[in-house]
Structure 1
Amino acid sequence: MDDDDLAARLKAFEGRRATVAGRGKDPVNLPMIRHWCEAMGDTNPAYTGPDAIAPPTMLQAWTMGGLSGHTSRTRAYDDLLALLDEAGCTSVVATDCEQEYPRPLRPGDEITFDTVIESVSARKTTRLGTGYFVTTRTDIRAGGELAGTHRFRILKYAPRKDAPARGPEEPRPAERRPRAVVNRDNAGFWEGVARHELLIQRCTGCRALRFPWLPGCHACGSPDWDTVRALGDGTVFSYVVLHHPPFPAFDPPYAVGLIELAEGVRIVSNVIGVPYDEVRIGMPVRLEFRRYDEELVLPVFRAAGEAA
């Protein structure tokens, strides 16, 4: 099929329903809320006690079908993905999600939901390959009242073919590191990094520190905050060693650490200054800023006592 025919067939899926009258397999309940909060390290008192609410970001958890799935699912979404497979877009990556929370969910709420294929983009060329962005919208209700909206977007694409081999007189240019998504909630952090400052948010209500940056306090809910500059001392709280997948902007294997700063918050960053297989939990590290190209500076952590 030609590109115009494919585009028309893809557009015909917009507005089709992927789930009709779906039901949550469990009502909103305190055990699931507790497990979620423990996994996230979220100690907000709003999620415990007789007047508990569910963390808003749990929204999608109440609609998941588990291994057995949902009987309310239609064939529309599967047919759309099959059409993209037929067109050579056989790979998929989740790109982002957006959520809205009109009202809190509380233990005992029975969940119903409907999902619609909201949009299929025109053909796009990305670093991964050429394909189409598919967005679904799930409206989640409690007692018939809209409680949340979850938009989920994937890229279904044909993987990019390897570039032709270059001769010795044509060295392969270095790939640039991926850029962070800068928005109104985290712009101040990146402005600080550009000045070689690691800034931590501090609630002006309860004085709790938080990282990564958020629009409101996880402890008291206040939207007001200022910042403190991290001293730069930390320890490796946990870490992983990345071997795969290979990506030209990186040089595996390398260590990525969850660094606990002296101020008590944690940040994910590279551990440098020692071989990847010598990184250990509890290892003291020290903040430094590394320039990767003419635009990008990132905070990294060097093993304490190791020379730059």
Structure 2
Amino acid sequence: MTRGRGEPARSAEATESDDLYEKLKAYEGRAAAVAGRGKDPVNEPMIRHWCEAMGDTDAAYTGPEAVAPPTMLQVWTMGGLSGHGHSGRSEAYDELFALLDDAGYASVVATDCEQEYLRPLRPGDGITFDAVIESVSERKTTKLGTGYFVTTRMDVRADGEPAGTHRFRILKFAPARSRPADTRPRPTAKRPRPVINRDNAGFWDGVAGHQLLIQRCGDCARPRFPWLPGCNACGSPEWEAVEASGEGTVYSYVVMHHPPFPAFAVSDHADAAGPYAVVLVELAEGVRVISQVVGVPPGEVRIGMPVRLEFRRVDEELELPLFRPVGAGVPGGVR
């Protein structure tokens, strides 16, 4: 190829990237899986396990007219540890990944998924599916490294009828090289401000007064959180605010590593540039609150850990309800 006057010279890396991208694009539209078949029909035990794990008690998922939660769509297509055998992923999909691996993009991380539901799934439905390589992005540079986003689309059928679509996107990347620490002073990071509206203003008024307020339905007396204009159990618009005791346990948690966000490093043990734990705390009153646990390293947070409410000012303008471990033998805990 001849370069015209005034055109910038292209690096060997850029040319190599363009050549690889053309090869990757050739796989768009090719099958990722053909005539796949779910290992089990839709069944009540799996629905029950899912609902227990998610804490979903909706009556639609039990009884003789039960349906599966819509978000279980992909569950019925998964092959488990032993895979799907001959109905697994296609040669084209393996070839695509081999191209990326050989070019140095050997690391992988799931980035997001989208689902569309066409009909309810009921116990006894037999699940079949096909999948296609829908798109491959141009080379992108992220915090994790440089690579390509690959999107697959799975079309799911129940007893031969279209039931839904599942799009799954991953990043195949080469990890970024570590750089020397930037020691230049930076502005102090602040947490995002909460959105306060007429439905939740009472909660934030309570925080200002060092009270963790939840709602209790005026008709069925069911407690609820977060604050809502009406009861999600009986539909009543009547409610009252009650102060929670502040006692609870860690119901679930996730330790966030990327991207680093110093404003969330509020634990007494946290490095401002390091990971932090986001927890779902189940209060003694039976509702769950998303927050953080302080006084313990993120890696030592555990499901079932008893915690107690405390209020902490995270910057000069914002105070938040956080939680601290309690009990003898709990790292960072208080009695």
Overall identity of the aligned pairs, in %:
56
One-letter amino acid of the counterpart of residue 26, structure 1: D
One-letter amino acid of the counterpart of residue 55, structure 1: P
Structure 1 pair 226/300, CA: closer, same or farther in 2 (3 Å)? same
Q: Secondary structure at the match of 1:25?
A: coil
Instruction: Give 2:68's aligned residue.
Output: 54
Deviation at 1:290, TM superposition (A): 2.6
Alignment gaps of 5+ in structure 2: 1-14, 266-270, 327-332
Q: Which of these residues, 235, 240, 243, is aligned with residue 247 of structure 2?
A: 235
Deviation at 1:22, TM superposition (A): 0.6
Instruction: Give 2:280's aligned residue.
Output: 258
Q: Secondary structure at the match of 1:68?
A: coil
Q: Which of these residues, 322, 328, 332, is aligned with residue 301 of structure 1?
A: 322
Q: Secondary structure at the match of 2:293?
A: strand
Could you say which structure has the larger radius of gyration? 2
Deviation at 1:300, TM superposition (A): 4.9
For 1:282 and 1:137, the matched residues in 2 are separated by: 42
One-letter amino acid of the counterpart of residue 3, structure 1: S
Q: Secondary structure at the match of 1:149?
A: strand
For 2:127 and 2:100, the matched residues in 1 are separated by: 32
For the pair 1:22 / 2:36, whether they are aligned, the reply is: yes
Instruction: Give 1:44's aligned residue.
Output: 58
For 2:241 and 2:313, the matched residues in 1 are separated by: 14
For 2:308 and 2:65, the matched residues in 1 are separated by: 42
- The within-5 A match list for 1:160-175 is 160-164=176-180, 170-171=183-184
For the pair 1:13 / 2:27, whether they are aligned, the reply is: yes
Instruction: Give 2:104's aligned residue.
Output: 88
Q: Which of these residues, 79, 95, 101, is aligned with residue 79 of structure 1?
A: 95
Report if aligned partners of 2:149, 2:169 keep a CA contact under 8 Å in 1. Answer: yes
Deviations 1:138-192 (A, max 9, x none): 11001211111111111111111111356xxx44758969989x9xxx9979x97
Deviations 1:62-116 (A, max 9, x none): 0011122122221222211221122221211111111111110001101110011
TM-score by length of 1: 0.74
For 1:229 and 1:123, the matched residues in 2 are separated by: 52
Instruction: Give 2:290's aligned residue.
Output: 268
Q: Which of these residues, 290, 298, 301, is aligned with residue 314 of structure 2?
A: 290
Pairwise CA RMSD of aligned residues?
4.6
Q: Secondary structure at the match of 1:76?
A: helix
Q: Secondary structure at the match of 2:290?
A: strand
Report if aligned partners of 2:291, 2:323 keep a CA contact under 8 Å in 1. Answer: no
Worse-matched range after superposition: 100-109 or 29-38: 29-38
Q: Which has the higher contact order (CA 8 A, sep 6+)?
A: 1
For 2:97 and 2:189, the matched residues in 1 are separated by: 31
Instruction: Give 2:168's aligned residue.
Output: 152
Report if aligned partners of 1:271, 1:300 keep a CA contact under 8 Å in 2. Answer: no
Q: Secondary structure at the match of 1:34?
A: helix
For 1:240 and 1:106, the matched residues in 2 are separated by: 29
For 1:58 and 1:300, the matched residues in 2 are separated by: 33
For 1:212 and 1:43, the matched residues in 2 are separated by: 17
Structure 1 pair 236/144, CA: closer, same or farther in 2 (3 Å)? same
For 2:118 and 2:90, the matched residues in 1 are separated by: 26
Report if aligned partners of 2:311, 2:319 keep a CA contact under 8 Å in 1. Answer: no
Alignment gaps of 5+ in structure 1: none
